[in-house]
Chains A and B, each alone.
Chain A
Amino acid sequence: MQDELSGLTTIFTEFYYWVTVFLMFFIHIGFATYEVAVARRKNLQHTLMKNILLIPLVTITFFFFGWWIYFALPNGPGITGGLGAGHEEFFAWSETMGPHMQDRINGVFWAAFLLFSWTAASIVSGAVMERIRVAAFLIIAVLIGSVTWVIDAAWGWKPDGWMVQLMGYHDAYASGVIHAIAGGTALAVIMVLGPRIGKFGPNGVIRAIRPHNVWMACLGLFLIYTGFWGFYVACNIPIIDVDPGNGTFFSATNIYLMPTTLSGITLNFLMSLSGGLLAGYLISKRDPFWTFSGGLAGIIAASAGNDLYHPIQAMLIGGVGAALAYKLHNFVERRWRIDDAVGAVAVHGYAGFFGVVIAGFLLWGYPAAAPVEGTTAWFTTPEGWPAINPIGNFIGAVIMFGVLGFLPAFVVAKVLDRFGLLRVPRAVELAGLDTHDYGDSYPYFEASEPGGDFETVERQLVLTMTDARLTRLDGDEPPGSRAREDREAAT
């Protein structure tokens, strides 16, 4: 760095992203806390271990190839060109992938993206809890954390990504590129995995499997809100000249290098959180878990356009997003008998999908990014820049949730299921995932009385077991995936 201004700008930017990484750790403290709290007492340590292990595996794979994908694939699969210019600098063996005197940004920018990767994988972790094998989950975590979400970021979360340049796709704080894809992935996996034993009874009965600690689940969600501050500011470029052709005008920008302000996104973050909390409280009839989840759904629903919305627009979108998430979660559970243990598909997937779609309408005509030579967008501004529009954002939401979220995860889950490596044996699930190995997580606490009818149902199922094998399911329960050990016992 040759002068004080460039030195200060560079080192400020380096420090800025470093702070976002630290703040985003709270998202993962929150995920671990609320996942463990939602689990039943017999599954706590297994749940915690499953969640923590995604962190090192997604980290090293994001180093090996995830970061390279972001720079290599903005042009899409043969749609507008080949590999991205300069992608060689992001190979795992590039010099700038380590301490380097001439580069102070790559490492912290990598880390900020990595924390998004952890988030995408953690979202899936909650939905599949209490019955998935750790090995299967970790493969799926690497799939979404270091491959599929990075492809969607290269396509739709980069100024020269083909979805941005061609379709005018706009998703400033990742309603689609993180949340919808994670929701789609989670839905695919739980469809193949099947529900937890006893979740669905005869004659359409849906049994509530209560968290072992409701307030801790809510506190976990509160920690996720805290970490979201880091998530939001990490989606911005902190300081850049946004008017280089006509003089100098320094501003923060969104990920597409279009101007916004830190002050503005602060307003919108808080208003969308509030809209979600207020709606979640009313729609769930004062349920604590869904009130807190409503706050999260509110932020996620408004995130696609929170760089530009008015705060009251953000509040209203947040409220609608929370209500949609709650209603759709219950509808899907009832209609298709799908067991999403924490409502992750709804809070992240449906609210994220809705957020991308609504941004296409409300921001219709805004510039999506500066144009790249050789690409003509479907809709353009009067100056010829790609324009945000409802069609581009709707198709974008489908790509995020369905094409890159649901499909690859469904295929991988099916392959794992084919080898009996997706789900734990039914006897292990009934006894508890901690029981045969870790033991009780609260050895000095008295056991609470069995709550409701759920433990009774489990007890009855245990008594029907032959040779540690479950011979019948309860009522209308979808069969779901079968462990290799259960198959061997059956033959």
Chain B
Amino acid sequence: MTGLDSFTDPGGIGALYPFQGLEVVFAIVGVVLWLAWHVAQTRGENREYEEALTRYRDAGMPQMADLGRDPGATTEQARGRESMTGSPEATAPPDQEPRTQSIKDETSPGNG
């Protein structure tokens, strides 16, 4: 049994949740998960920016800035990945030239 097995005397019932008596354990688990979330999020964000800067150095900053403003850029292109349908060109309508190239296809050595 995890908690209550009768509601016949509501005036005599207190807490309704299961595993009563373990509230301190619940709180410790919650606080640990909260702090761990901050650590994981911070590490992930730091890694995200390091990867972005590496990509910008490789591609050249002006090209990346264009990609940020170009309506034809897909999320996959922005992430430097192939689109779900294959190459970036495959996402362009048939009567239209692709507007941007994937960062991976750029040949510019960058500004540096």
A219 contacts partner chain B, Cβ-Cβ < 8 Å:
no
Interface flags for B18-60 (1: CB within 8 Å of A; 0: not) read 0010011011001100100110011001101111110111000
Asked if residues A443 and B74 are in contact (CB atoms below 8 Å), the reply is: yes
A463: chain B residues at CB < 8 Å are 62, 111
A102 contacts partner chain B, Cβ-Cβ < 8 Å:
yes
B14 contacts partner chain A, Cβ-Cβ < 8 Å:
yes
Provide the bound-state CA to CA distance between A182 and B106, in Å: 45
A94: chain B residues at CB < 8 Å are 23
Provide the bound-state CA to CA distance between A468 and B14, in Å: 61
Interface flags for A282-324 (1: CB within 8 Å of B; 0: not) read 0000000000000000000000000000000000000000000
Interface residues of A in 18-61 (CB under 8 A from B): 41-42, 57, 60-61
- Cβ contact of A102, chosen from B14, B23, B70, B110, cutoff 8 A: B14
- Cβ contact of B79, chosen from A134, A439, A444, A467, cutoff 8 A: A439
A363 contacts partner chain B, Cβ-Cβ < 8 Å:
no
Closest to B15 in A: A95
A205 contacts partner chain B, Cβ-Cβ < 8 Å:
no
A424 contacts partner chain B, Cβ-Cβ < 8 Å:
yes
Closest 7 CB pairs of A and B: A439-B75, A435-B68, A439-B78, A436-B52, A432-B68, A93-B23, A467-B112
Chain A residues in the interface with B (C-beta under 8 A): 41-42, 57, 60-61, 63-64, 91-95, 97-102, 133-135, 138-139, 421, 424-425, 427-428, 430-432, 434-440, 442-447, 458-459, 462-463, 465-468, 483-485, 489
Q: A41-B69, A92-B26, A431-B52 are in contact. List 16 more A-B contacts (CB 8 A).
A: A64-B30, A93-B26, A99-B17, A101-B15, A431-B56, A431-B61, A432-B65, A435-B78, A436-B55, A436-B78, A437-B78, A443-B71, A443-B72, A445-B71, A459-B65, A468-B112
In the complex, 22 of the A-B residue pairs with CB atoms within 8 angstroms, ordered by the A residue number, are A95-B14, A95-B15, A101-B10, A101-B13, A102-B13, A133-B45, A421-B42, A427-B64, A431-B68, A434-B68, A435-B68, A436-B52, A436-B56, A436-B78, A436-B79, A436-B80, A439-B74, A440-B75, A442-B71, A465-B61, A466-B112, A468-B56
